Structure 1
Amino acid sequence: MKTAVLFGTRPEAIKMAPVLRTLRSNPDFEVLSVSSGQHDELLKPLEGLLELDVDVNLGLMRHGQNLSDLVSRGISRISDALQEHKPDALLVHGDTSTAFAGALAAFYNGIPVGHVEAGLRTWNMKSPWPEESNRRLIAPIATWNLSPTNACRNNLLSENIDDSTITVTGNTVIDSLLWMDQKVKSTDLVEQYEEKHADLLEHRHLVLVTSHRRENFGSRMRGVYETLARLADERPDCIIVFPMHLNPNARKPALEVMGDRKNVRLIEPLEYSEFVYLMGISDLIITDSGGVQEEAPSLKTPVLVTRDTTERPEALDTGIVKLVGTDPEKIWAESNAILDASESIAEQNINNPYGDGHASQRIADALQA
């Protein structure tokens, strides 16, 4: 089976890398690795680290582009690539503009679509935006809806998606996390990172932050940053590390609000291996990322999610992930509660509901069934 695997953003690459490795190890598959280039600057450092071995880069990224430009250009260029390489199937991931454009292009070309991470829902088309609409639109045209959990399967069934198209696989982000964690520990990377970040360990608590959601741009995001600044000012036992997104709507207010504090590190995006290392040694993560919500239970690191909704309720059920929105007082109160109880949290026995690290093999099996 000639299978094209499409990705365009950093999270997609992280989650599709184990799928690529699994399919390449199976002689029944011929694999075509396709990058849309949606996050081209963020993807380049990952190519060697994750063994992406990109065959086709469509170079979709344009400065100042809007969503309609990105999606329309994506449909056209992905369609051209599909017509040139003629795969038997196209795998897309999640809810990005790349995934939606790719699924639609494949559908228009009569090529079966496999939707990895299918069935996540908030039931609110404006949160996250436009991701909720993207993933809902892919499901009906997918030949394989590859769902991470039974709850995701049930979401699809409630939308009258044919049960025969659905396979519960677990989430490939756990495959990637466990693979990378082992890689860091079995090489000299861990020594490099321990030396590089030795100053962080001088503080009693490490708080790791990410922020990029469109629906939070503006006053909501600034409110989160002002709370982080307050945390830095009033908790000198903490150090805050914030790898900033390249989008100026997320980066500019971070620099304005937090740029002059000694116990705040505003840094450039990290390689995935280094980010995994920091997640593992953090006492608290404050984020609007979906992937971090899935990874944290495996690392036993508490997470506050700065969103009003989450399509990952299973993470909330573990108790280690909490939904706090962008309310400054709630973020402040929950942050302090977690930091003050960090030692007892680390001792908890937590099972990750997103899988056992074998999701990619289940995806390969589903494609061959």
Structure 2
Amino acid sequence: MGPSALVPGPGSFPGHVVPEVFLIAGTRPEAVKMAPVAAALFAVGRIRPVLVNSGQHPEMVDQALESFGFAADVRLELNRVTGGQAELTSQLIEELDRLFTERPPGAVLVQGDTTTTLAGALAAFWKQIPVVHLEAGLRSHDLTSPFPEEGNRKVVGQLASLHLAPTADATAHLAAESLQGNNVLTVGNTVVDAVLDVAARRTPYGDQRLQEIENRVHGGQSRLVLVTAHRRESWGEPLDNVLHAVADVVRERPDVEVVLPAHPNPAVRRQVVDVLGGVGRVTITDPLPYSQMARLLAQCTLVLSDSGGIQEEAPSFGVPALVLRDVTERMEAVNAGCAVLVGTDRDRIASLTVRLLDNPSARAAMTADGNPFGDGLASIRTEQALAWLLGLQQQRPDEFTPHAGSATVRSPGEAEVA
């Protein structure tokens, strides 16, 4: 089998054969961004999606897929003892290699920059199975941050047969690494498709306190600020600064309520409770299922987060984001004005949050141009790109252009809140 096997073409599959494409997910964000692609593949019917739960974070993947009405077709079993990267990567590669041997797919779709993504790309490449990289081209240009994700995505970039970049900036990053031409497509980010889908389902909250907060927001009695600070580099003193800034904001604005889903790590949870546990109008919850998080996000006036996913999702609901990081690989949101990098300085976070809460026109202007990450059609473009790669479609798919019909969905009661 020669190198051409890595780029299938017309005639690769007989007319009566529906090729399988493996959609591999090991973490919740991967599952969330894969689910709309699976839905698009099912809807068209010319490619059979096979959802693979890699076993990296198996329960979180199952939970995320369930939000979309899906379950994994294949669930790999890992035997993790040390929890180290070497152990995880070696087990993933061995299990995926076995799967690809027993059930060779037409292509393998990996997303982003996780250990599952790296292992999936390596295992497929070694089997000369085409690798399609969803959300290709994110770069911080610093191998130490985020670590090891920046290294993972650069390696996958060298192995992929097809690069599906979310934005023009991501496409430009690939071009700077001599990855350009016909096998690079700008499709938008499927997380936009995902968050619009699950928010519209209005999945009931598992915590009654959240329903009560939503009722107050809709009644014009409260404004909601969502806070998430999960990244490992935020733990310790940076998180302490964020938590005290949140307390400052709540004290200064008596109509503001805060919801903070706490990280499951016991030390982190203890830190959150120590600072905010006794502060009124601050609701600390367990980590929320994706469907409930999306519904909550749609009710917000403002979000403070170090999460890349939140940065991508919030503009779809007209919610500005203050990014609790000094550097982000998602500069599209910052450049479009819908996000501001604030880092973890207590005074800066508190003062900017209060200023935005006090200025409805400034908040509205931040998200007036819609979501720079997508228009809700990325999964359709991804289906077309896979069909094009596999020789099932002759025409190269159209690419995503920001602001071309991208919609911003306002949450119920937003007019009253603003």
What TM-score results when the alignment is normalised by the length of structure 2? 0.81
Once the two structures are overlaid, the 10-residue window that deviates more, 352-361 or 199-208, is 199-208
SS at match of 2:304: strand
Q: Confirm or deny that 1:114 pairs with 2:132.
A: yes
- How far did residue 230 of structure 1 move? 2.8
Distance 2:371 2:54 in 1: 31
Q: Confirm or deny that 1:271 pairs with 2:289.
A: yes
SS at match of 2:373: coil
Q: Confirm or deny that 1:131 pairs with 2:149.
A: yes
Distance 1:30 1:252 in 2: 45
Question: Which segments of 5 or more consecutive residues in structure 1 lack a partner in the other structure?
Answer: none
Q: Confirm or deny that 1:361 pairs with 2:356.
A: no
Q: Percent identity?
A: 39
Q: Confirm or deny that 1:315 pairs with 2:341.
A: no
Select the structure of larger CA radius of gyration. 2
- Indicate if the aligned counterparts of 1:203 and 1:239 stay in contact, CA closer than 8 A: no
Distance 2:213 2:60 in 1: 22
Distance 2:305 2:210 in 1: 23
Alignment-derived partner of residue 324 in structure 1: 342
- Indicate if the aligned counterparts of 1:211 and 1:250 stay in contact, CA closer than 8 A: no
- Indicate if the aligned counterparts of 1:210 and 1:286 stay in contact, CA closer than 8 A: yes
Distance 1:27 1:263 in 2: 49
Distance 2:246 2:84 in 1: 30
Alignment-derived partner of residue 220 in structure 1: 238
Distance 1:56 1:96 in 2: 19
Q: Confirm or deny that 1:41 pairs with 2:64.
A: no
Q: Confirm or deny that 1:68 pairs with 2:86.
A: yes
- Name which of 321, 333, 336 aligns with 2:351: 333
- How far did residue 92 of structure 1 move? 0.5
Distance 1:260 1:59 in 2: 41
Q: Alpha-carbon deviations, 1:181-229, whole Å to 9, x = none?
A: 3333xx888xx99844346537532110112112222222222222223
- Indicate if the aligned counterparts of 1:200 and 1:239 stay in contact, CA closer than 8 A: no
- Name which of 188, 197, 202 aligns with 2:213: 197
Once the two structures are overlaid, the 10-residue window that deviates more, 60-69 or 240-249, is 60-69
The amino acid of 1:364's aligned partner reads E
What TM-score results when the alignment is normalised by the length of structure 1? 0.91
Q: Alpha-carbon deviations, 1:264-323, whole Å to 9, x = none?
A: 111012222221221111111111111111111111111111111111111112212111
- Indicate if the aligned counterparts of 2:32 and 2:65 stay in contact, CA closer than 8 A: no
Distance 1:59 1:305 in 2: 36
Question: Which segments of 5 or more consecutive residues in structure 2 lack a partner in the other structure?
Answer: 1-18, 389-418
> Alpha carbons of 1:257 and 1:194: their partners in 2 closer, same or farther (altered >3 Å)?
closer
Query: Where do residues 1-369 of structure 1 align in structure 2 (5 Å cutoff)?
Result: 1-60=19-78, 62=80, 65-184=83-202, 195-198=211-214, 200-201=216-217, 203-248=221-266, 250-342=268-360, 345-346=363-364, 349-369=368-388
- Indicate if the aligned counterparts of 1:128 and 1:309 stay in contact, CA closer than 8 A: no
The amino acid of 1:239's aligned partner reads E
SS at match of 1:281: coil
User: More helix per residue: 1 or 2?
Assistant: 1
Distance 2:386 2:228 in 1: 34
Distance 1:212 1:100 in 2: 22
- How far did residue 231 of structure 1 move? 2.6
The alignment covers a number of residue pairs equal to 365
Distance 1:239 1:64 in 2: 40
- Indicate if the aligned counterparts of 1:129 and 1:214 stay in contact, CA closer than 8 A: no
The amino acid of 1:356's aligned partner reads D
The amino acid of 1:339's aligned partner reads L
> Alpha carbons of 1:253 and 1:77: their partners in 2 closer, same or farther (altered >3 Å)?
farther
- How far did residue 247 of structure 1 move? 3.4
